[in-house]
Amino acid sequence: RFEQAEVMGKLPEQFFAKLVKKVSYYVEKGYDVINLGQGNPDQPTPQHIVDALKEGADRPEFHKYSPFRGHGFLKQAAADFYKREYGVTLDPEKEVAVLFGGKVGLVELSQCYLNPGDVALVPDPGYPDYWSGVAMAGATMETMPLRKENDFLPKYDELPETVLNKAKLMFLNYPNNPTAGVATESFFKETVELANKHDILVCHDFAYGAVGFDGQKPVSFLQIEGAKEVGIEIYTLSKTYNMAGWRVGFAIGNESVIESINLLQDHFYVSLFGAVQHAAAEALNGSQRCVDELVDTYERRRNAFIGRLNENGWNVESPKGSFFCWLPVPEGYTSETFSDYLLEKAHVVVAPGIGFGSEGDRYVRAGLLTSEDRLIEAADRIAKLI
Ligand code: PLP
């Protein structure tokens, strides 16, 4: 009866909704399912942040509308965080936009910068919301393959010049979901050069910025000279502080891009609940011991899971960052048939790589989002099968 706007037909299928349905079938049947398929942090938000929320909830000034573009104290906390963690100087009012989580910012950016017919470069495999944003803007995507032989970094010299000349926007994400690849400073320098040469706006998604292993701190794109002239970084509190349900993130960097995002948001939202902003500022300003503990936990889990898979004769690489393991599927399987096989026979859930793009079809993604014991149990169940 109600004809949808054309753009609705262009939205990609929510691939993982299908997986969730399959998983529920096994859970409802009472099987002991180990779910490594999702990207939802399993641990609670640190208590001092929850306490700040409670304290904020008692303050009547937070019961009113928040300022349109977020409280100054939160933007200041984000700027101070970047200074402290990455040595990056930011003007909190002009170079920081408060977001309802990173996902929203990624989609908004495409709305701000892409017209129908424009081209955006997206990684393949990559986080699916880059595509949704591009599709919603009526633009088209060109993919940048991320392959193991290139440490899961795109090879810019393999991208056709015609594509680079047409591209307006590029999405990158390191530490990477789903491949767990990490970026080097030299790769980001190359990115700044490419962006300048071809006039491309770069959006670096730093969702897993806190999670680097073996003592290696992931590099922020904004640490690179000239990065602010060509792009922004999306930072979210979802993973750093186990705050996925709270919906707090930032777009940070190029002043004119931040202004565009803010302007667009002025027409969609008034900013986040003041008490949430108060607690988010506490997360950023407060002790970062909880973040060190979080990284240690993921590193122990990684060592347990990958160690056990290797002991069991499946030689897979150890991720250097993020909380994902990107596991090659054995001969004869696609990512989907292999993940179905693991679910049916081992009751272990992994995400089929095809859900992140066609390059992903030779891999499945396992999240380190359960205890070491359960991860070892999952590795043993998988080993029995392959
Ligand atoms: N970017 C990547 C690569 C992610 O994996 C996620 C969440 O899983 C997000 C962005 C979005 O995070 P949020 O919207 O919770 O800030």
Q: Give the chain's mean pLDDT.
A: 96
Q: In the predicted model, is pLDDT for residue 7 greater than 90? A: no
> Is the minimum distance from the CB of 101 to ligand 1 under 6 angstroms?
yes
pLDDT digits (tens, 9 = 90+) for 189-219: 999 999 999 999 999 999 999 999 999 999 9
Q: Provide the 8-state DSSP code for 222.
A: G
Nearest residue (CA) to ligand 1, atom 12: 102
CA distances (Å), 243 to each of 40, 82, 177, 239, in order? 10, 18, 18, 6
In this prediction the ipTM stands at 0.99
Q: What's the confidence (pLDDT) of residue 376?
A: 97
Residue 205 CA: which ligand 1 atom is closest?
Answer: 1
pLDDT digits (tens, 9 = 90+) for 298-356: 999 999 999 999 998 888 989 999 999 999 999 999 999 999 999 999 999 999 999 99
CA 164–ligand 1 middle distance (angstroms): 26
Q: What domains can be seen in the chain, in order of their start residue?
A: 6-45+289-385 (3.90.1150.10), 47-285 (3.40.640.10)
| 7-31 average pLDDT score | 87
**Least confident stretch, 16-25, 81-90, 265-274:** 16-25
Q: What's the pTM value of the predicted model, to 2 decimals?
A: 0.97
CA distances (Å), 226 to each of 19, 88, 93, 194, 232, in order? 42, 12, 20, 12, 11
Residue type for position 260: S
Q: In the predicted model, is pLDDT for residue 256 greater than 80? A: yes
Q: Tokens representing 153?
A: 């970094």
CA 323–ligand 1 middle distance (angstroms): 12
Residue 236 CA: which ligand 1 atom is closest?
Answer: 16
CA dihedral 114, 72, 249, 184 (to 10 degrees): 80
Q: In the predicted model, is pLDDT for residue 104 greater than 80? A: yes
Q: What's the confidence (pLDDT) of residue 280?
A: 98
The Cα 155–Cα 16 span in angstroms is 28
| Number of neighbouring beta carbons within 10 Å of residue 138 | 15
Q: What's the confidence (pLDDT) of residue 14?
A: 75
> Is the minimum distance from the CB of 123 to ligand 1 under 6 angstroms?
no
Q: Tokens representing 22?
A: 């399959």
pLDDT digits (tens, 9 = 90+) for 157-168: 999 999 999 999
Strands (E), the chain: 34-35, 96-99, 119-124, 140-145, 167-173, 201-205, 231-236, 249-253, 324-328, 348-349, 351-352, 363-367
> Number of H helices and number of E strands within the chain?
15, 12
CA 234–ligand 1 middle distance (angstroms): 9
Q: What's the confidence (pLDDT) of residue 56?
A: 98
Residue 177 CA: which ligand 1 atom is closest?
Answer: 3
CA dihedral 50, 54, 60, 62 (to 10 degrees): 10
> Is the minimum distance from the CB of 103 to ligand 1 under 6 angstroms?
yes
CA 173–ligand 1 middle distance (angstroms): 10
Give percent of the chain with pLDDT exceeding 70.
100
Residue to mutate (ligand 1; options 100, 232, 239, 248; most atoms within 8 A of CB):
239
